[in-house]
Chains A and B, each alone.
Chain A
Amino acid sequence: MPSENGFNPEEGFRGLKLVPRSDTAYKMKDFKSDQEVRWCPGCGDYAVLAAFQGFLPELGVPRENIVIISGIGCSSRFPYYLSTYGMHSIHGRAPAIATGLAASRPDLSVWVVTGDGDGLSIGGNHLIHALRRNVNINVLLFNNRIYGLTKGQYSPTSEPGKVTKSSPMGSLDSPFNPVSLALGAEAGFVARTVDSDRKHLTGVLRAAADHQGASFVEIYQNCPIFNDDAFEPLKDPAERDMRVLRMEHGEPLRLGGDRGIVQGEYGELTVADVAEAGEDRLVRHDAHRADPGYAFALSRLDYPAFDHVPIGVFRSVERPSYDELMAEQVTEAETVQGRGDLAALLASGDTWTVD
């Protein structure tokens, strides 16, 4: 995955081009804080945390230039367990807070940790706007399809008809598809991974860090207490190869041994028998397509539920990031007009003198 994005360890991650490099050879333990990790036994968050702590040394930037911002929810406890700078903020607002930080400090590597409730319910507005602005932040959305911290109500990604404490007769809501939503919000980088596949998860984190601008990563994460085994069909060794569509840039999209993805009459993507459709018709994955329509079509392969679920990078398209453009305007103003002078500003109107 890193290579497909052109990631070059010598030059560092492109998303960190304005962040100072570090000579310190960090280890995973350097990113563990002294706080006791307090998630429920068996929570998928442990695996994500371990993968993240294991990945951070790869960034090659000083620990003090990394900031984790979260909202409210189980996943949002993340910052406390990392020895970087961090803010555990308020429900849904992490993308807004991170936007202000990243826009004013392009020298930081800023990560937003959020969940399906935090990021898609109360904070949905901030999430979509941060993505469209292309602020240089990495958004990790832990999707467990349930409200964990408030003890088990349905979430905006819960399946229709979900029976929970607040929906005893079944939820009436249609769920969001977070990947479709992010693509609709003009996100330049959109990926999905799974808590239980550390190697894949780390690869996606690497690709996200390499993307300059907003990157959005949906992480399927198991909540053993309120929604256990929600993603079991994707983890069951007997079935997973038939269901998990691993997207690799430049490679044909294959599902198991004998099925693959072909394009339909209206541009939609469908699953076909390779022998029937012919090898030539298989769609070759291109994460760099400027038009988001293809990535969107990929995201719709999620239906029917869990029959075939794409994981990997849906879309990775470069465009200037918000913080970079903002800094450019400041520099341009200072260059063209000269650095501001307070006394001159105060006297800039029609003035008169009283002797």
Chain B
Amino acid sequence: MTKEVQQLDRVIIRFAGDSGDGMQLTGDRFTQETASFGNDLSTLPNFPAEIRAPAGTLPGVSSFQLHFADHDIMTPGDAPNVLVAMNPAALKANVDDVPNGAMIIVNTDEFGKRSLSKVGYAANPLEDGSLAEFKVSAVPLTSMTVKALEDFEISKKDAERAKNMFALGLLSWMYNRPTEGTLGFLKAKFANKPEIMAANLAAFQAGWNFGETTEDFAVSYEVKPAALPPGSYRNITGNLALSYGLIAGSELSGLPLFLGSYPITPASDILHELSKHKRFGVRTFQAEDEIAGVGAALGAAFGGSLGVTTTSGPGMVLKAETIGLAVMTELPLLIIDVQRGGPSTGLPTKTEQADLLMALFGRNGESPVPVLAPRSPADCFDMAIEATRIATEYRTPVIVLSDGYLANGSEPWRLPEVSELPDISVDFAAGPNGEDGAFLPYLRDPETLARPWAVPGTAGLEHRIGGIEKSDGTGNISYSPANHDLMVRSRQGKIDGIARGIAPLEVDDPGGDADVLVLGWGGTYGSIGAAVRRVRRAGGRVAQAHLRHLNPFPENLGEVLRGYDRVLVPEINLGQLALLLRGRFLVDVISYTKVRGLPFKAEELAAVVQEVIDRAE
């Protein structure tokens, strides 16, 4: 039987199941298949903070959403076209996001009375008509998997666990995904457990075959590869891109990388990743706490390493004092904050961008620190290099604000040519810079206002630095009022001057006639971009600009802001950038905020943009 193949331009799939069902792995594999097929894609993993919440409960639901298309896309998508629900909890937790007419594939084996009542279903939703608006495919995924594996010498439990591979096989058939990658992955993953390997391969194949033979699925779909710019691509998450960017920063600057870090969600993966790359001379130090993590990084920086610390909001709070010391000692230091929902412990696995003001102002005294924010998972690579450039050139700590969405989300990344990456090599101080062979550790470069970086081991440059106010030039302790005023202004002037070396803010205003500008920063780039496209498709005129440098701002920002009648600033906080813009430029921007632990939906933002346009007219 030859089945019909329908062409689609884009699809959004959400895999949802229990925390133990392997949904993240399933989603990740489907993503890799999709990436190797050449679609553009964007992903949104969403999982509980608990390692294993009670099975079958709503808090235990873990999901993975993937948006893929034959054209370039910017977000993981608002609403799934297909929901795979491995149990009633997964159905209940996700069904509200599914639009009418979309497909829901459920694992009927899990829809027993107990499982249903566990999540408060009085009646079976598969039978009571409540899913009538959807195309429901009821598939006994578990029992079919177990049946397919009955000849294998594995436990029933192990057979049941392979049901995610059955589901993956089914979906891979449905969307005509290439399977070599997944087969190779399973072979490598279970290389030491041949029976389990064979069972998972068989489950995957059974799922594929089921799609091909059953009449439940009459149609399979094809989403053609996207027309991306030529080059070599891979799919990459923000945390991986950041890790690679840090290694690149180390290689390009010629400084050995030293990471001082304490495990914290969602930043730990950077520590895990960097600890694998000792062959690049990388030293990773799992400290006793957040303070020691940044302290060790600063100590390493004093010794001439590229000192890095990685954390999330609660850890940033603890590092504040040491960042202040780095400001005072004017040493390069990279602080990566992968933001999550706050305050306090907040929402460890959910995204937010509410650490902006803390990054800028969360220290005692006048303590300016450059702040950068990548705008997409792949952009984390570039911003890690940019942070390295600024830190080493200006001898300053630099804060990079990633977030949980960027960290775990992924997108195709065109591999850069190493030869095209910027040269950020560093010159340490090598000899005296004062009269009579004196060394002045706080004699500033007239251009950058950076002080010399003289590392221990360099003869003749012995000097002392510390947290007490420094005397201009000599760096000796000074309590002089005039000197303090000078030093406060010098440190500020140094950071302000970084703006001269960064590209002007680019505005995307195709018609050049928009009255409304949407300005965002960090991880909201995709959502805002997708919303702006929608508005434009509907005939609306709107400009978009996105900040990756939050301190200092690009030099033309004020001019850009004043060039539009209205400026809309969407943020996943309560208006932190808006506060800065109003304060600095006296422009009454319109702040739009949501703090749900999730990225903006493009549809929602598009409506907001449209409303602002309508009001302006």
Contacts and interface: CB of A to CB of B under 8 A. Distances in A.
Contacts of B225: 354
Interface of B: 32, 35-38, 181, 225, 228-236, 244, 247-248, 251, 256, 258, 260, 277-283, 285, 287-289, 291-292, 295-305, 307, 321-322, 324-325, 329, 415-418, 456-468, 476-477
Top 5 A-B residue pairs of the complex, sorted by shortest distance between their CB atoms: A88-B466, A100-B299, A100-B296, A96-B295, A340-B280
A329 B288 contact: no
A98 B302 CA distance: 10
A323 to B, nearest CB: 9
Given A104-B256, A352-B36, A340 B247 contact: yes
Contacts of A93: 291-292, 295, 321-322
Of A62, A97, A102, A126, most buried by chain B (CB within 10 Å of CB) is A97
A216 B430 CA distance: 34
B329 A107 contact: no
Nearest to B324: A90
A345 B247 contact: yes
Given A96-B295, A326-B285, A347-B415, 15 more contacts: A79-B466, A84-B462, A86-B464, A88-B464, A90-B324, A101-B300, A102-B299, A103-B296, A104-B258, A126-B292, A334-B281, A343-B417, A347-B232, A352-B36, A352-B232
A352 B181 CA distance: 12
Of B35, B287, B297, B461, most buried by chain A (CB within 10 Å of CB) is B287
A108 B467 contact: no
Interface residues of A, number: 59
B302 A87 contact: yes
Nearest to B229: A354
Contact of B307 (A66, A82, A100, A334): A100
Nearest to A109: B456
Contact of B291 (A85, A96, A334): A96
Given A63-B462, A330-B283, A346 B418 contact: yes
Nearest to A101: B299
A349 B234 contact: yes
B223 to A, nearest CB: 15
A11 interface: no
A103 to B, nearest CB: 6
A87 B36 contact: no
Given A103-B285, A342-B251, A349-B236, A90 B467 contact: yes
A45 to B, nearest CB: 16
Contact of B296 (A82, A85, A96, A355): A96
B456 A85 contact: yes
Contacts of B468: 88
Contacts of A125: 288-289, 292
Given A89-B466, A101-B302, A342-B418, A350 B278 contact: no
B232 to A, nearest CB: 5
A107 B458 CA distance: 12
B457 A351 contact: no
A80 interface: yes
A84 B465 CA distance: 11
A65 interface: yes
Of A33, A67, A101, A351, most buried by chain B (CB within 10 Å of CB) is A101
A99 B285 CA distance: 9
Contact of A346 (B244, B260, B322): B244
Majority secondary structure, B binding face: mixed
Contacts of B287: 96, 99, 129
Nearest to B321: A90
A104 B303 contact: yes
Interface string A168-181: 00000000000000
B228 to A, nearest CB: 5
Nearest to A80: B464
B285 A333 contact: no
Interface in A56-78: 62-67, 69, 72
Interface in A123-154: 125-126, 129
B181 A329 contact: no
B464 A340 contact: no
A337 interface: yes
Given A64-B461, A103-B296, A346 B415 contact: yes
Contacts of B462: 63-64, 83-85
Given A97-B299, A129-B288, A340-B279, A354 B466 contact: no
Of B456, B460, B467, most buried by chain A (CB within 10 Å of CB) is B456
Interface of A: 33, 35, 62-67, 69, 72, 79-80, 82-90, 93, 96-105, 107-108, 125-126, 129, 326, 329-330, 332-334, 337-340, 342-343, 345-347, 349-355
Contacts of B35: 350, 352
Contacts of B467: 72, 88-90
Nearest to A38: B477
A126 B300 contact: no
Contacts of A353: 231-233
Contacts of A355: 230
B303 A87 contact: no
A82 B466 CA distance: 14
Contacts of A350: 32, 35-36, 181, 234-235
Contacts of A103: 258, 283, 285, 296, 300
A119 to B, nearest CB: 14
Contacts of B456: 64-67, 85, 101, 105, 108
B287 to A, nearest CB: 7
Contacts of B477: 35, 80
A99 B307 CA distance: 13
Contacts of A89: 295, 325, 466-467
11 contacts: A79-B466, A86-B463, A90-B322, A90-B324, A104-B258, A104-B283, A105-B456, A126-B291, A340-B281, A346-B415, A352-B233
Nearest to A122: B291
Contacts of B32: 350
B258 A100 contact: yes
Contacts of B295: 89, 93, 96-97, 99-100, 126
Contacts of B181: 350
A158 to B, nearest CB: 25
A96 B302 contact: no
A332 B229 CA distance: 40
Nearest to B298: A97
Nearest to B467: A90
A126 B325 CA distance: 17
A339 B231 contact: no
A159 B302 CA distance: 38
A338 B279 CA distance: 7
A100 B287 CA distance: 10
Nearest to A349: B234
Contacts of B322: 90, 93
A118 to B, nearest CB: 13
Contacts of B277: 340, 345
A354 B415 contact: no
Contacts of B458: 64
Given A99-B285, A100-B260, A347-B232, A334 B244 contact: no
B302 A354 contact: no
B357 to A, nearest CB: 23
Contacts of B228: 354
A100 B300 contact: yes
B248 A97 contact: no
A343 B236 CA distance: 15
B292 A96 contact: yes
Given A80-B477, A347-B234, A88 B465 contact: yes
B235 A349 contact: yes
A334 to B, nearest CB: 5
B263 to A, nearest CB: 15
Contacts of B230: 354-355
